[in-house]
Structure 1
Amino acid sequence: MIRTRSLLADGSRLRRLAPLALPSAWGAVAVAWKFGCPLARQPGLPMRIATSVVFLTVGTGLVLGIQRGLARELARARAVAAATQRVLLRPPPDRLDGLALAAGQLSATRGASVGGDLYEAVATPHGVRIVIGDVRGHGLAALGAVVAVLGSFREAAHDEPELGGVLRRLERALERHLRERARDEHPARAGSEPRHPAAEEFVTLLLLEVRSDGRLSVFNCGHPGPYRLGRRVERLPVGDPLPPLGVLPLPAVLAPYTAARLLPGETLVLHTDGAEEARDRRGRFFALDATLAGAAESPAALVRRVHAALLHHTGGRLADDVALLVVRNDRVRVPAQPAEPGLRRSRPTPSSHC
């Protein structure tokens, strides 16, 4: 097994060095020609020009070979990042139990495909359950907390009959992750101060359940409330907020907010705070509510339009990661049907008197 791994590693190194083989061979020939050929050592302008052309050609070949190797490494890194994003922040299905969905994420870290934002939507026997969250900070340092919370949600959403049980599972998963982080960051093991210590890490999130009749159950752990798009754009009420996960323990009794509904034809836009806190060069905040107003469109088109407006507003320089999850209720409201004639209660006929 060790020998096989060593051979694979050697093969990988040879593939990375392959683009430099031909320029290196030309360079060796040029050096041998310069110092081993008597004709090359003759004085005169023509010979100097010929020598310069030879070495310029060799140098150009080396630069192009290095550039080609770096381009291949960049393509591999992008492929790995795309695969990681598909597994970690996998796009939701276009339709889920009568709901149309779309999601998207913009990372503030240049060149990164994933960051500190998370989202997921799954259909369960208890309804469609949705989570969107934001880990403190952004970029690759927040991926551990994202993995812990999403992994726990994908199991707990199916196992827990009550939404409060799902939230408890998310809290325990994050606590385990933070304990492991704190142990790894101990001076006896790390040897240096961490840039993003676990003691300062927490997660804000919004946990929802959409039932078959459009009724919503919501837990808000310090996260921005979603927008509901119907006849107008309005902030959906989500009840009193709970503390973000990782800051304070959750209360002993968890009761979701259940006074909100998502009627057929209405759209719910869940987002992280990076959307509303994005600023332009003059320091003006991004008007997310005004951007959401307009003609009706599919969830995927709405995500693309908001992303384009965000990049235009900030000039492509985001200060924080941005995640969007759009849910539209495409369930058809069935009107009440009149009872069949044979099932109607017959009225007593008045008796006739002779």
Structure 2
Amino acid sequence: MITRREMTRVRRVCVAAWGGAAVSWELATPGPLVPSLATCAAFLLLATGCALHIRRGLLAELRRSQEIAGAAQRALLRPLPGRVDGVTLAAAQLSASRGAAVGGDLYEAVPTAHGIRVVIGDVRGHGLPALGAAAAVLGAFREAAYDEPSLGGVLLRMERALGRHVRDRARAEHPAVCAGEPESPAAEEFVTVLLLQIAPDDTLTALNCGHPWPYVIRPAPEPCAVRSGGSAPDPASRSSPRSPAGLAWLAGETLPPLGVVPLPPDPRPQACGELRPGETLFLHTDGAEDARDAAGRFFPLRSVLAEAPLTPARLVAGVHAALLRHTGGRLADDVALLVLRNDRH
């Protein structure tokens, strides 16, 4: 895809070439000064017209390329609905590749007959080169989440999809060596994955393959502001976003990342308690906690969450802005943020 920098460079080269040709012509052609200046001006006007024509064509091509890239990126990491089965959602993605809206991080949440099934993952590497593995894993989840009765079956389908992607990439990179099925693919890729299921009764089950566990954010008790005379609580106190009362990790056993070693034949999801009404889950990839500033200090994610409002959209926007401030807009790795709040009751 042609960038604006490349387009500007082409335009400058064209103008410089025409200007050089005009000056060389005038120096090599004897004659009066005034006609020579007129000829030189004509050359420069022609060069300007050609440069403007080239610029319009390159701008049109740039717009078409951006539209195609945007459509492809939205198809891979489509926007999440604001609410699914009584659970409010918000998400954001930050790519380490300049000009890209998505990278090697992935997330999705879908309502199924078994409850809301959620995935968040991180492909080895970052930016555009990791898109292939992210697309394979995310596509498998979107199909298996509806079909498989257990999270273990969903995870096995995702592992098989990643294996096919790695083998196909190995054959493409080394067609002479890997004419058949490669035993040790050269394209070694792995993906950290966290699978969650929020059942209709608010119980949580999870399968974690090398991914950071999410934070559970519990709201502070809402103060009962009673006016004189025993009137009802102030509605403004209920509508304002409250700060969290406490943070906890949704911890448990962790399997190796997908693609490192084969999964067990029957991965058993583990029970992780409940997501009670009003509680919030904050899911993230390791690019959030590993982000550093110019002095090498890590991003204080826990401190930011402790001071953030509980509204999912505001929580994501606040962490997003704090990350960009901390890193100066220069991310070393992709970052994905996903927030789910139980608003069923």
- Fold conserved (TM > 0.5)? yes
The Cα of 1:268 is off from its aligned counterpart by: 0.9
What's the counterpart of residue 348 of structure 1?
A: none
Instruction: Give the share of equivalent positions with the same residue, in percent.
Output: 61
User: Does 2:164 align with 1:176?
Assistant: yes
What's the counterpart of residue 274 of structure 1?
A: 287
Q: State how far apart, in whole Å, the 1-side matches of 2:89 and 2:186 are.
A: 33
The Cα of 1:100 is off from its aligned counterpart by: 0.6
What's the counterpart of residue 119 of structure 2?
A: 131
What's the counterpart of residue 220 of structure 1?
A: 208
Q: Kindly indicate whether the alpha-carbon contact (under 8 Å) linking 1:225 and 1:235 is maintained by their aligned counterparts in 2.
A: no
Judged with a 3 Å threshold, the aligned counterparts in structure 2 of structure 1 residues 236 and 92 are, in CA distance, closer, same or farther, namely: same
Q: Deviations over 1:178-200 (max 9, x none)?
A: 1222222225179xxxxxx7542
User: Does 2:300 align with 1:312?
Assistant: no
**How many residues were matched structurally?**
295
User: Does 2:218 align with 1:230?
Assistant: yes
Paired residue type of 2:75? V
Q: State how far apart, in whole Å, the 2-side matches of 1:291 and 1:68 are.
A: 46
What's the counterpart of residue 8 of structure 1?
A: none
> Please, which of 35, 56, 61 is the counterpart of residue 68 of structure 1?
56
Stretch deviating more after TM superposition (291-300 or 315-324): 291-300
Paired residue type of 2:115? G
Judged with a 3 Å threshold, the aligned counterparts in structure 2 of structure 1 residues 235 and 199 are, in CA distance, closer, same or farther, namely: farther
Judged with a 3 Å threshold, the aligned counterparts in structure 2 of structure 1 residues 198 and 315 are, in CA distance, closer, same or farther, namely: farther
Q: Deviations over 1:152-178 (max 9, x none)?
A: 111111111111111111111111211
The Cα of 1:249 is off from its aligned counterpart by: 1.0
Could you list the runs of 4 or more consecutive aligned residues of structure 1 that deviate by over 4 angstroms after TM superposition? none
TM, length-normalised to structure 1: 0.77
TM, length-normalised to structure 2: 0.79
Q: State how far apart, in whole Å, the 2-side matches of 1:290 and 1:230 are.
A: 15
User: Does 2:262 align with 1:249?
Assistant: yes
Q: State how far apart, in whole Å, the 2-side matches of 1:285 and 1:61 are.
A: 52
What's the counterpart of residue 205 of structure 1?
A: 193
Q: State how far apart, in whole Å, the 1-side matches of 2:282 and 2:55 are.
A: 43
Q: State how far apart, in whole Å, the 1-side matches of 2:195 and 2:205 are.
A: 8
> Please, which of 18, 39, 44 is the counterpart of residue 51 of structure 1?
39
3-state SS of 1:247 partner: coil
- Where structure 2 has 5 or more consecutive residues not aligned to the other structure, the ranges are 1-10, 179-184, 220-244
Q: Kindly indicate whether the alpha-carbon contact (under 8 Å) linking 1:135 and 1:203 is maintained by their aligned counterparts in 2.
A: yes
User: Does 2:335 align with 1:322?
Assistant: yes
Paired residue type of 1:122? V
Q: Which has the higher contact order (CA 8 A, sep 6+)?
A: 2
Judged with a 3 Å threshold, the aligned counterparts in structure 2 of structure 1 residues 205 and 281 are, in CA distance, closer, same or farther, namely: same
3-state SS of 2:270 partner: coil
Q: Deviations over 1:116-145 (max 9, x none)?
A: 111110000100000000110112221221
The structure having more radius of gyration, on CA atoms, is 1
What's the counterpart of residue 290 of structure 1?
A: 303
Q: State how far apart, in whole Å, the 2-side matches of 1:189 and 1:52 are.
A: 60
Paired residue type of 2:264? P
Q: Kindly indicate whether the alpha-carbon contact (under 8 Å) linking 2:166 and 2:188 is maintained by their aligned counterparts in 1.
A: no
Q: State how far apart, in whole Å, the 1-side matches of 2:37 and 2:310 are.
A: 66
Q: State how far apart, in whole Å, the 2-side matches of 1:306 and 1:47 are.
A: 66
Q: State how far apart, in whole Å, the 2-side matches of 1:286 and 1:254 are.
A: 33
Q: Deviations over 1:14-61 (max 9, x none)?
A: xxxxxx9xx99xx9xx99xx99xxxxx773332232222222222222
Paired residue type of 2:85? D
Stretch deviating more after TM superposition (68-77 or 168-177): 68-77
Q: Kindly indicate whether the alpha-carbon contact (under 8 Å) linking 1:236 and 1:260 is maintained by their aligned counterparts in 2.
A: no
Q: State how far apart, in whole Å, the 1-side matches of 2:128 and 2:328 are.
A: 23
Q: State how far apart, in whole Å, the 1-side matches of 2:340 and 2:142 are.
A: 18
